[in-house]
Amino acid sequence: MKTLALWASLILLTPWRGGAQPGGSSGYRDFPVLVSLQFHSINLPFKKVQHHFRNMGFGVGTEFSYTGKQHLVQQVSLIWYRNRQAGNGVGVYTQAVWRPSLSDAAYSEIKLGAGYWYSFRPVPSFKPIQGEWTSVGRRGKGMFALPLGIGMGYRTSGASWSPFVNYQLVVLSGYNASVPIVPETLIQLGVSASPKR
């Protein structure tokens, strides 16, 4: 918890330099492969962070720049996570990402996007049909997702890969009639890899 609070305060309080990260337009390549480990929890932001590490998943994605530089990009991601208590899930989403530089090699990220989440039930479920409880299996439900995130990464000049860490709040709508909006959080540890030119 203290580590995440430190990262968040570092991102929010650091005086940012405008512009791209090292290398400028010549150092950035569109469509790198983003591979990440996902740690999932149904939680309010920064609450019970240790629970994330019980629920692991994977993600893949890519991104492209609006300006030819790294400071304003659009990401597309597909993730899968395992959660025994709440049910497994699959998500596909896109996010606009602003990357202010923290130093020559380090950068921060602020993300906002939209997507679609499909959450499976953790156990077989039942519903009343004509006065009897009938099994509906483990089928899940699709929901509109609004992912908001902060993150940090590190890129060295000339390197074809860049490690990153993100913390995402995902607001899901249409969970059920009693609870129409549900917050989920993700900790993402990954690497962005670009093929050598």
What pLDDT, in 10s, does the model give residues 147-161? 999 999 998 667 688
What percentage of the chain carries pLDDT values higher than 70? 83
SS3 49: helix
Taking residues 91-97, what's their average pLDDT? Answer: 98
Burial of residue 43 (CB within 10 Å: 0-12, 13-18, 19+) is middle
How does the average pLDDT of the chain come out, rounded?
Answer: 83
Decide if pLDDT at 124 tops 80.
no
Beta bridge partners of 62: 76
Q: Report pLDDT digits (tens) over 67-87.
A: 988 899 999 999 999 988 888
Q: What is the pLDDT of residue 24?
A: 44
For the chain, give the number of residues: 197
Q: What is the pLDDT of residue 69?
A: 86
Taking residues 54-64, what's their average pLDDT? Answer: 95
Domain boundaries, the chain: 2-12+21-193
The answer to whether residues 116 and 91 touch, using CB atoms and an 8 Å cutoff, is yes
Which amino acid type is present at position 173?
S
Q: Which fold has domain 2-12+21-193?
A: Porin (2.40.160)
